[in-house]
Amino acid sequence: MAITDILSAVQGGQYYANAAAACGLSEADGKRLISRFAPEIATRLKDKAASDTEAFEALLDLLEEGGDSSDLNDAEAMTGSEAQSDGAAILTELYGSKAKAADALGASNAAEEKAAALSATAVMATLAASNSAQLSGGAQQAADTGGSGGGLLSIILGALLKGLMQGAQRQLAPKRRRRRYTYSTRRRTTTRRRRTRTPGLNDIFKDIFKT
């Protein structure tokens, strides 16, 4: 399932409406822009990781920290000020500057630039959740929820069902700290480490580009 379909399923089906509101756009325009930006950003990220060993290692470091569908289903985590900040940093890392990113993506005004930033955060959050299933045992969790492919959508659906039963517990629990999705700092500080398993780029991005 492609990233556009994954985003359609999260936040009770309201991701695009929530993101559009955060950008000052209509829901239709927000969905149209993010549906265009997100795959382009994912392709850029994949190409950069393929050509830059340091970028690939930094991406693996981020993904190995683990993740789940929690942020994807949290409107503030995905559309708030920190999501905007993360997305802007990701775009600068990938394209060289905010202006170059806007030009490459065809974002022609401030609202569209915000949509591009949120698209970048959405790409990273989806990758983190998807690869948690592969790298930290989440695949079994996905299978237990009844997903035929054991992919991210199964995890999301399982989380939504669990949420109906655990909503009260979440309200009583301390507020969860949001993950940071930009990896620019990791590119400056990380050193290559021995990994028990190094997935290929096609494996990492399979849920993003699946049709």
Among 139, 120, 95, residue whose Cα is nearest residue 182? 120
pLDDT at 76: 92
Structure tokens at 199: 């997935």
pLDDT at 71: 84
Mean pLDDT by 10 residues, the chain (211 residues): 87 96 98 96 92 83 67 91 91 92 97 97 88 53 40 46 43 50 52 59 82 55
pLDDT at 201: 85
Instruction: Decide: 129 and 155 in contact? Cβ < 8 Å.
Output: yes
With left for phi above 0 and alpha for psi between -120 and 50, is residue 177 left, alpha or beta? Answer: beta
pLDDT at 14: 95
Identify residue 80 by its one-letter amino acid code: G
The CA distance from 38 to 148, in Å, is 25
The CA distance from 164 to 31, in Å, is 27
pLDDT at 140: 39
